[in-house]
Chain A
Amino acid sequence: MGVIPNIMVNALVLASMYILASLGFAFIFNMLGSVNLAHGAFYMLAAYITYYLCAKAGLNNWVAMLLAAIVLAAIGIVMERFVFRPFQTEFDRVVMVSVALMTMLQQLAVQVSGSQTISIPAYGNGVLDLGFMTLTNEKLITFLVGLILLIITLYIVYRTKLGMQMEAISQDRLGAALQGIQVNKVAMLVCGMGFALAAVAGAMMGAYQQVSSNMGDNINVRILMLVMLAGAGSMNGILITGFLMALLDSVCPIIWDSYTASAIACSAVVVLLLIRPKGFFGHEM
């Protein structure tokens, strides 16, 4: 049969990308308390940068992805300085700025590519035969990249000084500053890192699925859902909800048609959120 292993593989690949894309959002949400609705748009921007570096400039996939990550990290640092820092307590203003950026980036994507379907060249070709099922190298590579970056990020969060400083800031910003933590510097670094992770996710998903101007919308809702389900300040929670979300997204389309599947997956999340509005794993903010 091989249906269940296939579903699990698809869910794992999707989960790794969802989690990667949402880590940056979660960092900003936990540490700075800002909801960056434009996160999906930046993820899309990274996919476009990678595509054009590959297709037009003829660069290698991995080099293009790295360049996109560097560009997005720079954008993240700028965003921290000019959006998240001045509007720390103002939810409305952050929403305004992020929606404006989202609109502009989407229109830019439409202008640049039109409505044609484009796709980043595959990172890996061929299939791997495991005996009981076959696995495309593409999926394997996507999953491995996600896993490695995830492990690195978790190492940074839990085992390094930077991670402890992040935790301190998300618990109490003023207290952290009084302890001599350079809050703004840490916030900048973390924003850069988060945006770079989203860039990698965008570049990988651009090859695994396709690059389009509305790819950001879809992931945006997913990111918000899984971070809200996990709750503020929880990294482990994101791993679990990310996998849950990916599982819902891979199982439901098999049983129902795509819109029914999305409706059911989203309803499940809404019901879960109604049970615990502040998330399942986080602390209250």
Chain B
Amino acid sequence: MTEKLNVKKGIPYAVLLLIFLVLPIFLHTSYWIGVLIMVLYKVVGSVSLRTISLSGTLTFAHGTFIALGAYCAGILARNLGLPPVVTIIAGGLFAALVSVITGFPFVRLKGMYYSMASMFLGVTLVYVIKAMKITGGYHGLTRIPKLLQNDIACYYVFLAIAVVLILILFRFEFSRIGTTLRALAQSQDVASSIGVNARFYRLLAVGMGSFCAGVAGAAYGLYSTVLSPTNYDMTFSLWLLMYMLIGGEDYFIGPIIGAIIFVLIPELGRGLSAYAPFLTGACTLIVAYLLPGGLAGIPDLIRKKKEQKAIEASEGRDDRASA
């Protein structure tokens, strides 16, 4: 499934980028800026999760690697006073390093077994964060120096980081490596038989995805200035995965759409925020039962239906002609 890169495919991305560039003009209160940064943060988290799952296995530990990036950057900025540029990149590298070291024994597992093992790894690492002294333990890390004092400036920095990361991941996916990973998803045995080193490529995807997740986590940590380990528990990882599944895991834009819509749902009715989980749950169920390709698969679904109708209509004509 190699998608051709053409101008038409780029339109949705351009529109989204334009919307995100313009939005702070209308929503300039610090509350809404916070919401928008949250959206970007989860978009990057979810897109980078998709890179890992290109090889056909879902990971349940992604939120943990975001946490590792955030904690690494937070500790470096707080205790050593390093500038944000250094701490953010260090956060990404740290997340990538840990994910590659821990991923090394894991990547030989396939399918569900990989998912389960990654979930246990994620849970374990969050417990380690809660147990350690340097991370502030259960109470979390506070008094992290802020990224920038101005919220709107923060937002544009975050947007720039998000765009760069998404471009990197896009390039990664539509390169030879991405094609190899998709081949691994279809059949690891066949791919291995023509000389693809399955473990190396899967580890590469894990490292790449975790690096981007770590960078996003680090930037968000520096923006929010407070890190609490309970924000990174299994629910967080599960929902990053859900954004991707709901948006459509076969499409690059899928996790972007999923994350934007599902992060914004609780913001729709302020007074009704207690009911938001029911709404997200109901939407998830609708997608799970009615839209096999996720939200991004809707155009393809409609096209397929139309083609089928056209075929049926022409068959009907043939029948009449022959009769």
Physical interaction between A and B: yes
Residue ranges of A at the interface with B (Cβ–Cβ < 8 Å): 35, 37, 87, 91-93, 95-97, 99-101, 103-104, 106-108, 110-111, 217, 221, 224-225, 228, 256-257, 259-260, 262-263, 266-267, 269-270, 273-274, 277-278
Verify if B173 is at the interface (C-beta below 8 Å from A). no
* A104→B282 CA distance, assembly (Å): 8
Q: Cβ of B278: which chain A residues have Cβ within 8 Å of it?
A: 104, 107-108
Verify if B101 is at the interface (C-beta below 8 Å from A). no
Q: Evaluate whether A92 and B245 lie within 8 angstroms (CB atoms) in the complex, with A101-B281, A103-B280, A259-B130 already known.
A: yes
Q: Number of B interface residues, CB 8 Å?
A: 43
Q: Evaluate whether A103 and B117 lie within 8 angstroms (CB atoms) in the complex, with A92-B58, A263-B128, A263-B131 already known.
A: no
| Nearest B-chain residue to A92, judged by Cβ | B245
List 8 A-B pairs, minimum CB-CB distance, nearest first: A263-B127, A107-B277, A100-B284, A266-B124, A104-B281, A259-B131, A259-B130, A100-B281
Interface of A is mostly: helix
* A136→B142 CA distance, assembly (Å): 43
- From 154 to 209 in chain B, residues with beta carbon under 8 angstroms from any chain A beta carbon are none
* A277→B121 CA distance, assembly (Å): 13
| Nearest A-chain residue to B239, judged by Cβ | A99
* A110→B275 CA distance, assembly (Å): 11
Chain B nearest CB: distance from A224 CB in Å?
A: 6
Name 20 A/B residue pairs within 8 A (Cβ), A-sorted.
A35-B112, A35-B116, A92-B249, A95-B242, A96-B285, A96-B288, A99-B239, A100-B288, A103-B280, A107-B274, A107-B275, A111-B274, A217-B233, A217-B235, A221-B120, A224-B120, A228-B116, A256-B131, A259-B137, A267-B128
Contact B112 A91 (CB under 8 A): yes
Q: Cβ of A111: which chain B residues have Cβ within 8 Å of it?
A: 274
Q: Evaluate whether A270 and B242 lie within 8 angstroms (CB atoms) in the complex, with A92-B249, A221-B123 already known.
A: no
Cβ 8 A contact of A104, one of B109, B245, B277: B277
Contact B277 A103 (CB under 8 A): yes
Q: Cβ of B242: which chain A residues have Cβ within 8 Å of it?
A: 95-96, 99-100
| Nearest B-chain residue to A29, judged by Cβ | B112
| Nearest B-chain residue to A279, judged by Cβ | B113
Given contacts A111-B274, A270-B117, 16 further A-B contacts (CB under 8 A): A93-B288, A96-B242, A103-B277, A103-B281, A107-B275, A107-B281, A217-B233, A217-B235, A224-B116, A228-B116, A228-B117, A259-B138, A263-B124, A270-B124, A273-B120, A274-B117
